[in-house]
Amino acid sequence: MFSWLTLLSLCAWCFHSHDAHHERAMHSLGGREGSQSLAFSTSWQVLGPFQIGTREATWGADPLEYLGGFRALQYDPGAQFRSSLPTNGTARWSVVVATQTSGNSSSSSASLSISYDNVDWNFLKVVYGWAAVQYQAWARGEITVSADDNQHVILYTDSILEYWVDDVHYFGGDFFTYRRAPPVLHLTPGTHKIDLRLVRDVRAMGGVLDPTIDVVVEAQRVSGTLELAKPGILMSDVVDGKLASLIGSVALRNSGEDDIEIVDVQSSDVRSPVNTTNLGGKSRLVVVAGQTRPFAFNISLPTHNTSSVRFSITYKTTAGGDQLSTLLVSQNLTRRSIYDPHKITYLHPGSMASYAMLRPPAENAACSEGPNSTLPVLLQLHGAGVEADSDQVAHALDPVPDLCAWVIFPTGVTSWSGDDWHNWGFADVEAAVNSIPSWIDAVAWRGPGVDVNTWVVSGHSNGGQGSWYALTHRPDRIVAASPISGYSSIQKYVPYELWQPMDPRRTAIISASLNSYRHEMLMENAKGIPVLQQHGEKDDNVPTYHSRFLRQLLFQVGTNSNYYELPGKGHYYDGVMTTDQLKSFYREQTRSDKTTHTDPQEFSIVVGDPGDMGSKGGILVTHLGDPGQYGRVDVKYDSTLKSYTIKTSNILGLKLDERYMQHEGIGIDGQDIATSEGSNTKRGFLELSHSLEGSWKIGPLYQSNASTQHRHGRQLGSMTAILRSSGPLTIRHQAAETAHIALQVSRNLHQYFSADSKIISTGSWDDSPPGNLISIAIGGDAPPIVQPDFPIQVGTTSVSVRDSNGRWRRFGEGEGAHLGAAFLQPPALLDERLELVLWGSDVEMVAQVARLVPMLTGVGQPDFVVLGDSARWRGVEGALSLGFFDYSWNVTPSSVV
Ligand SMILES: *[C@@H]1O[C@H](CO)[C@@H](O)[C@H](O)[C@H]1NC(C)=O
Ligand SMILES: *[C@@H]1O[C@H](CO)[C@@H](O)[C@H](O)[C@H]1NC(C)=O
Ligand SMILES: *[C@@H]1O[C@H](CO)[C@@H](O)[C@H](O)[C@H]1NC(C)=O
Ligand SMILES: *[C@@H]1O[C@H](CO)[C@@H](O)[C@H](O)[C@H]1NC(C)=O
Ligand SMILES: *[C@@H]1O[C@H](CO)[C@@H](O)[C@H](O)[C@H]1NC(C)=O
Ligand SMILES: *[C@@H]1O[C@H](CO)[C@@H](O)[C@H](O)[C@H]1NC(C)=O
Ligand SMILES: *[C@@H]1O[C@H](CO)[C@@H](O)[C@H](O)[C@H]1NC(C)=O
Ligand SMILES: *[C@@H]1O[C@H](CO)[C@@H](O)[C@H](O)[C@H]1NC(C)=O
């Protein structure tokens, strides 16, 4: 499909005659064992190592791109490449034999383990820390199809971020080995070249043992039509004979070459069929060729006693006229006692089904005052790479069976909790908690009720970090927190040393895009909330330093916290979540008389992104001045005078919840606000806004009927705000050339976030509410800019950006300009929706900017980025312009234009 590279496969495989061993080794298993129709080579040509920064690969930063890319290079054992890591500053080709290959008539796999002994890793680590054992390399092998006809295959790429198959580029891969959305390939008979970009990541691959890169590629023959991407149905457990929740979901993959439309889903057990035309907003569910989509539907149990449910999915191909086909799916039921941790399902705001494990308050817990009482929620957030339905997670609190709380073990959507429990993963936590009332209905629960707004949060490792996130972003909802063995921020976990060099102004922009996730900056938000910290003294996975450091900061901001360092203990052991101190903490903090907390008389709120920040002490920050900088609010309450004294910095808008704030006066930045005119008798919210002239007034920052759009609510934040979609994301594009990128974006959203996205290809840029939009365009076909006078304008081969002084700067004039842009904008139909535009002067540059669609955490995409060609090797410094939009969608002074 992509033809900008015209390497002949013959030429890519010219070998040096002196390398006889190598040539022999390139013969694949398939050649020797005729029964295999697919076979990977056992021997791979590897070139490396080169330097890479933590999560930098998304930006490009591949030194071989300076030489035209690995794909343009051929194996040459004599060739030398300059590199900052190895002895003599020289990287070379080598041949690596796959540690394991296996295969049968329908699949083949190869495992590679790459290591370098010409790098002094230990000394580099002394200087640069864990950043030093992250590096990149490339590997080339091949897959041979020995059958006589084309083979439909899926390609799993465990621990791989980027690769080429023949001359087609794939970004995204499967860095965390989810195996959720492999690409579908239609391979012709013969040999196909596979180039793998290998990127080492300490968080995924460890920092203590030898820094090897271990990856697996596996090809499996598939049906060439609609099939299950995952066996079975995601559905709730059956508790005491009743289904705990009604939502079920299947993952469907179209492994054919025509688009497929789902016509109907019917239970084979239940009489009344589900009619897809009645599915809210899903009237025409299309799975485009090569796409994987989750498909949620209502489930009910048949009346007879059964051990499984069966559904048939009716579909047709868009090319096949009205001919219908059927796919069957069944799922064995898991039956549990209602008091045991069990699986519940619900819809994530992104419209796909997710699950959590729920343990309702115990039958004989001594806290129940009957069905009229409400108990708090106790959250346990899991660590990276762990499934919530594993015994390790779901039964972690078995030693404390009698808690007066609704215990939830959320997934955060994936075993890496989506985006480390941030935008997407945290929305899943909230959806899980908010589904408890439907569970109460579904199972006709007669025990105590739930207070969905009162949480005790705890978690281990990545979930410890998630607990810090919950504590610092939902302070009014959290009554207590116990972050266990957690890290304070990804930058503190694995330092961002060793990125390609860049202007410190750019470093500041990348870093500011991660402001909301730097918990060490947000500790003040925890004031007044009891915190119990615990960390193993000998933890070599998440250094104990993180907990010691945050403990010190908690003290400095006046937070009441206890710290337990477990002598001799490592990162994890059975029982780490139920030490004596934790057991008494859970009991103490969930006691019903504890669950209303009083705010301190004096506190501060620090905000990185108002889009994901809740209130503290009833005060919500609605807008920052410059979103590239933290905002802060210092609050002092005088209980005698019943007056608030507020001081702000970088804040444009506040919302005060007067239902909880008893007061007779507010002074803000030295100005007295006469609240009588603003607060009406029924005491609701009071909005305060800061005018350009520097004074505060009662009322919103702008009129909602104003002719220009203003950024608010879910639209706020850096590029990751696109993940705050209410409804499935829509990926729209117009040309055959962009179909591959649209599919890639959809695949990555599903792979990394389990997200659903619909791909639409129309000539008219039709909008498709209610979810957020990702629009992909080349040259002069950009989607309409809705905001009058929007500060980014794309031409056919140029992009203009208006800086904060109103001056336009034009990039990429003239013939042959290679240019791309990724930027947020408000779409035509609003309601806090957001659009991410991916534009390139040519298809290669669209592919370059499509890398920036949020996927891995820690990448630091700001609101807009204009990329030049050299980003492929220079990384962020290859961006021509990047930065943030303020509340009226103007470029901020902190941006680089
Ligand atoms: C070291 O580098 C020089 C110059 O690049 C090269 O000629 C020499 O072969 C290299 N030595 C080794 C051991 O790689
Ligand atoms: C081939 O191997 C794959 C992966 O090991 C396995 O899933 C599949 O069932 C095997 N198929 C046959 C026909 O043996
Ligand atoms: C589904 O519902 C639509 C609208 O209610 C109706 O027109 C259609 O006939 C139904 N389809 C089936 C298979 O029942
Ligand atoms: C599923 O059931 C819920 C609750 O009964 C209902 O509101 C919803 O419309 C149903 N959805 C579908 C797809 O039938
Ligand atoms: C349903 O079947 C299970 C196992 O076959 C059996 O133990 C149970 O008693 C049955 N329940 C009813 C209500 O028939
Ligand atoms: C479902 O249950 C049946 C009967 O107990 C069993 O044979 C089958 O292997 C089970 N299927 C799965 C996927 O566990
Ligand atoms: C619970 O509340 C209902 C309605 O307010 C009331 O009728 C009932 O007596 C209460 N039950 C208990 C046990 O307090
Ligand atoms: C918007 O609403 C405000 C107050 O409701 C009114 O004063 C103003 O004239 C309106 N502006 C426009 C452009 O309609």
What average pLDDT does range 96-108 have in this prediction? 92
Average confidence score pLDDT of the chain:
91
Using DSSP's 3-state secondary structure scheme, residue 693 falls into coil
Would the pLDDT of 593 be above 90?
no
What gap in Å lies between CA 450 and CA 443, rounded to an integer?
Answer: 14
Q: Would you identify the CATH topology of the domain 719-883? A: Chitobiase; domain 2 (3.30.379)
What average pLDDT does range 621-630 have in this prediction? 96
Alpha-carbon dihedral angle through residues 746, 750, 753, 759, given to the nearest 10 degrees: 30
What average pLDDT does range 486-493 have in this prediction? 97
CATH 2.60.40.10 segments of the chain:
223-334
What is the per-residue pLDDT for 592? Answer: 65
**Pair of tokens at residue 28:** 């694949």
Question: Beta partners for 440?
Answer: none
Question: Beta partners for 727?
Answer: none
pLDDT in tens, 635-686: 999 988 889 999 999 999 999 998 878 788 899 999 998 765 444 445 688 9
Of 35, 102, 104, 154, which is best to mutate to test ligand 2, by the most ligand atoms within 8 angstroms of its C-beta?
Answer: 104
Q: What's the distance, Cα to Cα, between the start and end of the chain in Å?
A: 35
pLDDT in tens, 35-93: 678 999 999 999 999 999 999 999 999 999 999 999 999 999 999 999 999 999 999 99
How many angstroms is it from 847 CA to the middle of ligand 7? 61
Q: Considering every ligand atom shown, identify the ligand nearest to the alpha carbon of residue 240 and give its number.
A: 5
What is the per-residue pLDDT for 704? Answer: 73
DSSP letter, residue 528: T
Which residue stretches of 115-234 are H helix? 121-128, 202-205
For residue 705, give the ligand 8 atom closest to its CA: 1
Q: Which residue has the tokens 């080169």?
A: 50
Q: Which of 629, 719, 642 is nearest to 675 (CA)?
A: 642
How many angstroms is it from 505 CA to the middle of ligand 3? 58
What is the per-residue pLDDT for 50? Answer: 98
Class level of CATH domain 337-485+522-572? alpha beta
Ligand 7, atom 1, lies closest to the CA of 372
Render 49-107 in DSSP notation, one character per residue: EEE--TTGGGG---GGGGGT-GGG----TT--EE-SSSGGGEEEEEEEE-SEEEEETTE
What average pLDDT does range 435-444 have in this prediction? 96
Q: Considering every ligand atom shown, identify the ligand nearest to the alpha carbon of residue 372 and give its number.
A: 7
Q: Is residue 321 within 6 Å of ligand 7 at its C-beta?
A: no
Q: Is residue 332 within 6 Å of ligand 6 at its C-beta?
A: yes
For residue 92, give the ligand 1 atom closest to its CA: 14
- Phi and psi angles of residue 505, each rounded to the nearest 5 degrees, phi first: -65, -35
How many angstroms is it from 700 CA to the middle of ligand 8? 13
- Work out the pLDDT band at 21, boundaries 50, 70, 90: very low
Sign of the alpha-carbon dihedral angle for 853, 857, 863, 869? negative
Which range (17-21, 298-302, 505-509, 613-617) has the least confidence? 17-21
Q: Which residue has the tokens 């080492």?
A: 200
What is the per-residue pLDDT for 7? Answer: 29
pLDDT in tens, 538-580: 999 999 999 999 999 999 999 989 999 999 999 999 999 999 9
pLDDT in tens, 346-396: 999 999 999 999 999 998 777 766 667 899 999 999 999 999 999 999 999
Ligand 6, atom 11, lies closest to the CA of 332
**Pair of tokens at residue 786:** 């809705």
Of 106, 108, 154, which is best to mutate to test ligand 2, by the most ligand atoms within 8 angstroms of its C-beta?
Answer: 106
Would the pLDDT of 813 be above 80?
no
SS3 per-residue string spanning 292-354 = EEEEEEECCCCCCCCCEEEEEEEEEECCCCCCCEEEEEEEECCEECCCCCEEEEEECCCCCEE
Class level of CATH domain 223-334? mainly beta
Which residues form the pocket of ligand 3, taking CB atoms under 6 Å from any ligand atom?
264, 275, 277-278
Q: Amino acid identity, residue 89?
A: G
Would the pLDDT of 5 be above 50?
no
For residue 369, give the ligand 7 atom closest to its CA: 13
Which range (337-341, 574-578, 778-782, 834-838) has the least confidence? 778-782
Would the pLDDT of 256 be above 80?
yes
How many angstroms is it from 25 CA to the middle of ligand 4? 58
What is the per-residue pLDDT for 16? Answer: 32
CATH 3.30.379.10 segments of the chain:
719-883
pLDDT in tens, 181-236: 999 999 999 999 999 999 999 999 999 999 999 999 999 999 999 999 999 999 99
Q: Considering every ligand atom shown, identify the ligand nearest to the alpha carbon of residue 220 and give its number.
A: 2
Contacts of 718 (CB under 8 A, 6+ apart): 512, 513, 514, 609, 627, 860, 861, 862, 863, 884
How many angstroms is it from 192 CA to the middle of ligand 2? 22
The string over 479-496, giving b where at least 16 C-beta atoms fall within 10 Å of a residue's C-beta and e elsewhere, is bbbbbbbbbbbbbbbbbb
CATH 3.40.50.1820 segments of the chain:
337-485+522-572
Q: Which residue has the tokens 């900088």?
A: 629
For residue 80, give the ligand 1 atom closest to its CA: 5
What gap in Å lies between CA 814 and CA 796, rounded to an integer?
Answer: 10
Using DSSP's 3-state secondary structure scheme, residue 589 falls into helix
Q: Is residue 306 within 6 Å of ligand 6 at its C-beta?
A: no
